[in-house]
Structure formats: C-alpha cells, structure tokens
Structure 1
C-alpha cells in the first residue's frame, strides 16, 4: 500500500501503518558518474492508448479470501502453470487499515492467460495468509518488489522496515508454486546509498538474471543501477556483479553507476520479453507510468524512448488509460510490446484500494 499522492484527500499512510514515512537515505554521487546523467526525466514520446480489462482484487473479487483490500499484485507464472499475484499491505474488514494486516500475500489465478485472469484461489487455502513472518511491530512491513520464476523455483524480493525507511531487503525461494517460502539472504538498506533497496529481475536465456534497482522512497532522487547474477547463484549477495562507467568505458565489475537519468522512482518492473527487454515504472515527476523497450540489458537507456502507458486523473474521470492515483505497473507474463498487460494499483480512499489489469496498445520498440 504505497500509492502516489492523489489530487484529493486520503487517509494518512503514517496513521494507517503506525509509522513515519520519512527517511534519511542520501545519494552517494553515483548518478553523476555516467555520461549524460541528469536529475530531470526526459519528456516521454507519443502516448499509447489503453483500457481497463478488469479489477483483479476488491471485495467482490478477493473478499472471500480475506483480502478485499490489497495492492501491487506482482504477477508471476508458477511452474505448475498458474498465475500468482503477490500483493502488498492487505486488510480485511471495511477498508484500508482494517483488521488482519498481512504483507505479502499470494492470490492465485488457475488460468495464466492474460485474457482470462481471475483470482480463484490463494496461498493459505480458504484465507490468504502472510507468505513470510512479519509482525508489523512498530509499523514495519514487508513490501514485495519482485517475484519471478527460474525453472521449477520461484524467487521473491522484499523490502523490510517502516514504509520508505528500508532497514534491509531480503530474498526468498519457493519450490512448491509459492505455497511455502524459504529465506535465502539479505542486503543492508544503505547499500549503494540506498539504491539497492528496490530490485527487479529479468530472467535471461544466457544463464543470468539482470537486476535493476533504486531507492525505495518516492521523495528521494535515485539512480537506476544494473547488476547481473548467475541463475544458480541468486541467493549469494557476493555473486551480484555491477555494471558501471569508469575510465571512459562501461564494463561489468566497475562500481555501479546509474544507467539512466536519476529521478524519483516508484515501482519498477524489468522483464525479458519479445526477444529483448522491457522496463515499466511509476514516474513521480511528472506523475505517470512509463515503459522502455530495448534489445540488451546494457542498452543505453539515456537515449531509449520513454513511452507513457498510464496517465493520472481524478476520481470520476477515469477512462481509457487514465487512472486516479495509479501506481505499480507490473508486466503480466504473456505480454508483448504490441499487447502489453499491466497490473496497476490504485489508492485514493479507504474503499478504493485495489489491483487492476490494464491492456496498453500503440507501444513501439
């Protein structure tokens, strides 16, 4: 539950989660090292069109699983062919802040076709349970930033601490389609000046996963860092190799430098797709959701066009790809550049907090 500030009033997240949303993270100058780096995001190219496909969560969709109020819904195809939506802060009762606060939870669609996603099950049987231990003492939570599958194993990355004040991030694996999770490792919240807090993984066909990361705090300008890690060493922090610019050249093993313009990032989603790679993210200034498509993990993102996928609006004026208080933007497996499906979250009051599916058209490589 961490949407951008909407145009109208909404409950205080600090009050709802019983913790301050401030933060003391600071950049360490990494963003300035790369040629062409800038603290200002480029204006995006031509706007795509799109439309809402369906609500994926809500009282009617997921209330019977004790999860009427939830967000994020990171979609991952499980080894058994089902689709798991890994959600963030989840509540029962009458709205956001209600009883039985859990995070993360797993909601399942037995049909993984993007055209037929419907939550018809959950991790926990009849009632969605927390996937990992998290007691929320002192207002802490466990926010998923990515979930992905390599072979018969699923992996989940979580950001832990009071919201936007990440103490550490940790990494988990599941060998039973997301039903149970085993702890692998963790990273300190201040690594690379905080720019290794929020991670997203693209599973490549060369034996590597490529990892993009940012600060997890929308009020702080962050670079976007790139690492690679062999798929058989995902749980070993020492195996993550940075990509950086030094001595006049980009190379693996250099200290990490930002691979695109530093900015205020929301959620990020990095995927191998259509013979290349896709990056979807929530952009904070100006507020919209964007995507880039490029041939290689090391492609020049400073010059790759940024294409708008979702635009903000106010409640009552939604339509097409205009969404009130949008965030998230996780790519649904099975998407293509020409037929992109996104899991988009929304939160602007206690009863408007959900995950929705949007189909975006008109994007180009």
Structure 2
C-alpha cells in the first residue's frame, strides 16, 4: 500500500477523517482530480461525528506518487454532503457509483438506499461548476435491467459513446454492458445493451452478461487507458480486487484472466495488512493519470466486527502491462512475442507495500485476532 487517503494529518483540514469508496475523475485544468466518497464521518470511523454521503474533495498526486487532498469539492473550507437530504433511522443514504467528466460537465451516478442492500432507485446528477453544486438529471427505477443496473461505472470511448458496466447492489450477480451517446445520458430508455449472436456482439434492447464466470461482482471502475479498456472490480466470489484489460469493450470478458491487486487472504485482521492479506476489502478505483504499466487504485477496507478500521487506501501496481502482454512500444497492440511468457503470470504484478496500516492500528488488530478466529467473515455490500 502507498498509504491511507484519509485520516489525521491527511484530511482533517477538510473536516472529515473516515470514508469509503472514492471514485475519481479529472476536474478543471492541470493535474487536479475529484475524489467522491460514500458513507463518510467527521470522526475516525463509522458512527463518529456527522454522517455524510456522498462527499468530495479535490486532490493531486505529489511527486512521490501519493494522493494529497487540496480542498473540498463543494464550496467552503470543509466537506459537506454534495446532495442535500437527511439520513434517517432506517438508514437512508445516497451511495456514489461513479463520476464522469463530459466536456467539462460532471455527471454522478448514485444509488438511494434505505436499509442494507435495499435500493430504492438510482439517480444521475450533474455539475457545471466542477462539483461545487449538483442538479438532478434523471431517476432510474430499481428494477432497471432486472435490478442489474444498480451499481455502475462508466467511461467515454474513442468512438464518442459512453460505455457503462453494471450489476446489482448485493455482490451476487454478473456484469452487464450498456452504451449511449453523451446527449442521451438523461434518457435511460434509449440506452443500448450488449448481447451476443453466437460469438458476435450485438447492441440493442436485449442484454446478457459480458462477464460472469467465477464472478459475483461488487464495486467496479471502468477506464480507457493507453488505448485499452481497463476494468477494476471487487469480486466477492474470490474476495479480491481484480483488473482485466482489453483493446475491445464489446466482447466476452470471461475470456480474460484477471490480475489480482489485493486479496482478502487468510491471515485476518490480526496479521499484517498487505496486498496478500487485506482483510474485508472492497472498492477498487483507478486514480487519474495512471498508466497500464504504473497504476494507482484506491481500495476500501472495513472491519465490520468492531469498526476499528474504516478507510480508503491507495495502492500502486506495476506489471499489468507484462501480465496482459501489452508492449510499451505500441500500447494499442497486443504482443505475442517475447512478452508472451509473462501472460497471466501473477508473479510479474508488483504492489507497493510501503506505509499502510499504522502501528497503533496494527496493535489493536492483533488483540482482535483471537476473537476473530471464531467469527464468520462478513463483507458488507458497499456501505451500511
């Protein structure tokens, strides 16, 4: 891990210390980008201080590669909820799926939840002032795509279309693919979905999974990087943050062997938290400016047994180009020459492990190990 994105000395200047998710998009000019978090708290963990969701910050990457928060995304000197509403005793909250920048206008897809896993509807909002204020664009019913359109990620392709991967909220379903023109972002009824005629991809009103083998999809992040489609995803089936890369998006994604960035592992909270043992992980959002050879992601972690850790953490990943056989000389082409020996070889993936969970937290986690050994693991969908 590169280090936590939030916490004392990191985000206290913007008025909150804990949060999860953290989908990102470039804003304005230069190297600045927005980070939008889900359920967040002004205190150190779940339930401490004011409950806010979604919230946003503006950040950059320092020369050493670490994310540094500059200011709130909203106006003012501390973060506030980007969408005005009140949480209630039934757990009403608005959880962000993804954000996209289309010609300077930001669009946020989010899910209204009331109670764990109870999606009331989805909604798209837009901002024309770099995220300071937001207006509703359209509401999407919870039964859209048979409930498989609740949790999404989207990106504009080189052909101008917006491509969107989607699944259900509860981390139990396949991944579906949708596309639409930017001008139709407010009219889901004209969106096209991917199905197959034999092996041939077809766009239309019918839909079938683009990815489903050994998958129970959770949070996803779809980005177009170095001429390739990159899909980062939490897979509940394997308790891992996986990355898949393809030149073509309209295809059978089951044929792509995923690279693992971080896995739940077997050590539990009492063991050091490393990419091979990152307990109760979820999320997996690509940091703007990433390349295939040198990619940063933000991954969430929540100790649901006692809330001792609830955090978003930055990972740096090198070697995805080798894993997927992508040459550096021509990033738009596959290499099946000398690089072929590394295709699908998890050993070429290098994940930065410096300065992750601090010593005080590690000590607390060690004390919890005995209790945890007799406790069933619970991975909570998105947020509570």
| TM-score category of the 2 structures, normalised to the smaller one | 0.7 to 0.9
**Alignment counterpart, residue 68 of structure 1, candidates 17, 34, 49:** 17
Q: Secondary structure at the match of 1:187?
A: strand
Q: Name the CA shift for 1:287/1:114 in 2 (closer, same or farther; >3 Å).
A: farther
1:250 is paired with a residue whose SS is strand
Contact 1:145–1:157 under 8 Å retained in 2:
yes
| Residue 174 (structure 2) pairs with residue 223 (structure 1) | yes
Q: Check conservation: 1:71, 1:87, Cα contact below 8 A.
A: yes
Q: Distance in 1 between matches of 2:163 and 2:64?
A: 24
Which 10-residue stretch deviates more, 107-116 or 302-311? Answer: 107-116
1:342 to 288, 294, 297: 297
Change (3 A) 1:78 1:241: same
Task: Say if 2:263 and 2:275, in contact at 8 Å, map to a contact too.
Answer: no
Matched, 1:242 2:242: no
Does the CA contact (< 8 Å) of 1:74 and 1:85 recur in 2?
yes
- The secondary structure found in structure 2 opposite 1:106 is strand
**Match for residue 67 of structure 2 among 113, 117, 122:** 117
After superposition, the Cα gap between the structure-2 partners of 1:130 and 1:113, relative to the gap in structure 1 and judged at 3 Å, is farther
> Any idea what SS the aligned residue of 2:69 has?
coil
In structure 1, the gaps of 5 or more residues are 1-51
Deviations 1:185-235 (A, max 9, x none): 0111112221011111021121111011000112xx312111111122212
Q: Are positions 1:280 and 2:262 aligned together?
A: no
Distance in 2 (CA, whole Å) between partners of 1:317 and 1:102 is: 30
Classify 1:142/1:276 alpha carbon distance in 2 versus 1 (closer, same or farther; 3 Å): same
1:96 aligns with 2:46: yes
Runs of at least 5 residues in structure 2 that lack an aligned partner in the other structure: 325-384
Task: Choose between structure 1 and 2 for higher RCO, CA contacts under 8 A separated by at least 6 residues.
Answer: 1
Matched with 2:313 is 356
Matched position secondary structure for 2:52: coil
**Deviations for 1:34-81, whole angstroms, at most 9, x for unmatched residues?**
xxxxxxxxxxxxxxxxxx112111133112322111111112111334
Aligned CA distance change for structure 1 residues 188 and 289 (closer, same or farther; 3 Å): same
- Aligned in 2, Cα 1:60/1:347: closer, same or farther, shift over 3 Å? farther
Change (3 A) 1:125 1:113: farther
Asked whether the equivalents of residues 269 and 330 of structure 1 are also in contact (C-alpha less than 8 Å), the reply is: yes
Distance, in Å, in 1 between the alignment partners of 2:137 and 2:62 is 27
**Paired residue for 1:56?**
5
When the two structures are aligned, how many residues end up with a matched partner? 312
Q: Which residue does the alignment assign to 1:84?
A: 34
Separation (CA, whole Å) in 2 of partners of 1:293 and 1:188: 31
> Which whole-Å CA distance do the structure 1 matches of 2:97 and 2:66 have between them?
24
1:248/1:296 Cα in 2 relative to 1: closer, same or farther (>3 Å)? Answer: closer
Q: Normalising to structure 1: TM-score of the pair?
A: 0.81
Contact kept, 8 Å, 1:165 with 1:217, in 2: the verdict is no
Deviation at 1:124, TM superposition (A): 3.9
After superposing the two structures, state which structure 1 stretch, 244-253 or 308-317, moved more. Answer: 244-253
TM-score normalized with structure 2 length? 0.77
CA-based RMSD:
1.9
Is 2:148 the partner of 1:195? yes
Give, in whole Å, the separation in 2 of the partners of 1:327 and 1:222. 16
Residues 103/112 of structure 1: CA separation in 2 closer, same or farther (3 Å cut): farther
Q: 1:261 aligns with which of 212, 223, 233?
A: 212
Question: What secondary structure is seen at the aligned counterpart in 1 of 2:254?
Answer: coil
Inter-partner Cα distance in structure 2 for 1:321 and 1:101: 31
Aligned-partner Cα distance in 1 for 2:147–2:63: 36
Query: What SS class does the counterpart of residue 115 from structure 1 fall into?
Result: coil
Alpha-carbon spacing, 1:61–1:321, altered in 2? closer, same or farther (3 Å): farther
Of structures 1 and 2, the larger Rg is shown by: 2
Mapped partners of 1:149, 1:113: distance in 2: 25
Q: Distance in 2 between matches of 1:356 and 1:79?
A: 24
- The SS at the match of 2:196 is strand
Structure 1, 310-319 or 122-131: larger mean CA deviation: 310-319
